[in-house]
Amino acid sequence: KTYDVAIVGATGAVGEAMIEILEQRDFPVGELYLLASERSAGKRISFRDKQIAVQDLANFDFSKVQIGLFSAGGSISEEYAPIAAEAGCVVIDNTSHFRRDHEIPLVVPEVNPHAAVDFHARGIIANPNCSTIQMLVALKPLHDAVGITRINVATYQAVSGTGKSAIEELAGQTARLLNGQPAESKVYPRQIAFNALPQIDSFQENGYTREEMKMVWETQKIFEDDSIAVNPTCVRVPVFHGHSEAVHIETRDKLSAVEARQLLESAPGVTVIDEREDGGYATPVTDGAGNDAVFVSRIREDISHERGLDLWVVSDNLRKGAALNSVQIAELLLRDQLIT
Ligand code: A2P
């Protein structure tokens, strides 16, 4: 049995990763429809042994597909996801638009697969924020074992999370600066090349940014526990692909580094790289980019807290952080026969 699938935002950074992952995982795709703005209509993109012409989202009839993978921005999802769901298509939405909606499940298949069942109310399942996904895949086995009460996290996020224009901005600024020319910033409010920006998404009234608050809200929703305290600082760094996170947790019961390592080594979706020697850890360039796993390194007991533990977590933000997680949600729906 095959399923007809539409990718909304097929020409974007996440959309391209979705096409690649559907092919790599041999997802049972019947017809694949690639949708983007009218600017891209007619552009050809290869999938398996075929060239598929991109179509204008505005004219697409969603009754032709059973699954819609959306990643064209929050306002596009706001407008088109309900139209698609109404037409009988199950929407897996990678934008932040529906994530906090109580009627819409927010799913990481390794963490809360049971939540996916509830998609029937609205026909939409939300894919969490990239930084939240990789953090929770790593924290799930530890939370199950000893209970996490508080998370302090600093992120080091790649520009590809912002989209193609940001990838071009980092490459362009780097080239210009190395040639002695001034850097122009259009996508980010400050120069990103050779720099670090402590702002991702817009500032909120409480002084945190929206990206930081997404990590708070989404962690509580996915772990189904509003008592977990989450304190994030999100930083954009001049890395093309792969987000890194320095994660500090406080647990209800004491967990040793050895026990944590054992739990992580058998956790689904996790690969431990932790050698305590020069280079014996994951980095976004060597491990994050192009791989599916969430890599965990630097597992150690916090010398400043009795029940504290430190981790370094790296993953490909376009794959596990976005496209791969969306495709895994679709696989979960098929596995549990939630779509017929
Ligand atoms: P397009 O390439 O036609 O602009 P990224 O996150 O890499 O910036 O990609 C954004 C994706 O969302 C692209 O595929 C882009 O298509 C798509 N997109 C942006 N605006 C619209 C729109 N108004 N209608 C449909 N797709 C859109």
Index of the ligand 1 atom closest to the CA of residue 38: 3
Kindly state whether residues 87 and 10 are assigned to the same domain. Answer: yes
In a domain, 114, yes or no: yes
Kindly state whether residues 277 and 326 are assigned to the same domain. Answer: no
Which pLDDT score, from 0 to 100, does residue 86 have?
Answer: 97
Cβ-count burial 145-159 (b if 16+ within 10 Å, e if not): bbbbebbbbebbbbb
Alpha helices for the chain (secondary structure H): 13-24, 74-86, 130-146, 164-178, 210-222, 257-265, 324-335
Sequence-ordered list of residues with C-beta below 8 angstroms from that of 195, at least 6 positions apart, any chain: 238
Burial of 72 (0-12, 13-18, 19+ CB in 10 A): buried
CATH number, domain of 39, equals 3.40.50.720
In a domain, 340, yes or no: no
Which pLDDT score, from 0 to 100, does residue 245 have?
Answer: 98
d(CA 172, CA 193): 9
Q: In angstroms, what is the span from residue 37 Cα to ligand 1's centroid?
A: 6
| Ligand 1 proximity of 48 Cβ (cutoff 6 Å) | no
**Phi, then psi, of 319 in degrees rounded to 5:** -90, -90
Q: In angstroms, what is the span from residue 12 Cα to ligand 1's centroid?
A: 6
Q: How many CB atoms lie within 10 A of CB 98?
A: 23
Kindly state whether residues 83 and 142 are assigned to the same domain. Answer: no
d(CA 279, CA 270): 19
| Ligand 1 proximity of 37 Cβ (cutoff 6 Å) | yes
Kindly state whether residues 40 and 169 are assigned to the same domain. Answer: no
- Check: CB of residue 71 under 8 Å from CB of residue 12: yes
Kindly state whether residues 82 and 178 are assigned to the same domain. Answer: no
Catalytic residue among 130, 143, 234, 241: 130
This model of the complex carries an ipTM of 0.99
Kindly state whether residues 210 and 148 are assigned to the same domain. Answer: yes
**Phi, then psi, of 333 in degrees rounded to 5:** -65, -40
CATH number, domain of 310, equals 3.30.360.10
Catalytic residue check, 97: no
Q: In Å, how far are 67, 135, 154, 317 from 241, measured between CA atoms?
A: 27, 16, 17, 7
Element (H, E) at 318: none
Kindly state whether residues 175 and 107 are assigned to the same domain. Answer: no
Index of the ligand 1 atom closest to the CA of residue 40: 3
- Count, in order, helices (H) and strands (E) of the chain: 7, 14
Kindly state whether residues 190 and 313 are assigned to the same domain. Answer: yes
Q: In angstroms, what is the span from residue 39 Cα to ligand 1's centroid?
A: 9
Which pLDDT score, from 0 to 100, does residue 288 have?
Answer: 86
In a domain, 263, yes or no: yes
Among 7, 8, 11, name the best residue to mutate to test ligand 1's pocket (greatest count of ligand atoms within 8 A of Cβ): 11
Q: In angstroms, what is the span from residue 189 Cα to ligand 1's centroid?
A: 21
d(CA 65, CA 8): 12
Q: In angstroms, what is the span from residue 318 Cα to ligand 1's centroid?
A: 15
| CA nearest ligand 1 atom 2, residue | 11
In a domain, 225, yes or no: yes
Kindly state whether residues 194 and 257 are assigned to the same domain. Answer: yes
In a domain, 253, yes or no: yes
Q: Encoding tokens for residue 228?
A: 């977990």
Looking at the structure of the chain, the number of domains it has is 2
Among 37, 168, 188, 241, name the best residue to mutate to test ligand 1's pocket (greatest count of ligand atoms within 8 A of Cβ): 37
Q: Encoding tokens for residue 64?
A: 């032709």
Catalytic residue check, 130: yes
Domain that holds residue 227: 131-317
| Ligand 1 proximity of 167 Cβ (cutoff 6 Å) | no
Kindly state whether residues 160 and 215 are assigned to the same domain. Answer: yes
Kindly state whether residues 176 and 83 are assigned to the same domain. Answer: no
Kindly state whether residues 45 and 120 are assigned to the same domain. Answer: yes
In a domain, 88, yes or no: yes
Average confidence (pLDDT) per 10 residues, the chain, 340 residues? 97 97 98 98 96 98 98 98 97 97 97 94 96 98 98 98 97 98 96 98 98 98 97 98 98 98 98 98 94 98 98 98 98 91
Catalytic residue among 97, 143, 241, 243: 243
Sequence-ordered list of residues with C-beta below 8 angstroms from that of 15, at least 6 positions apart, any chain: 7, 8, 9, 34, 36, 71, 72, 323
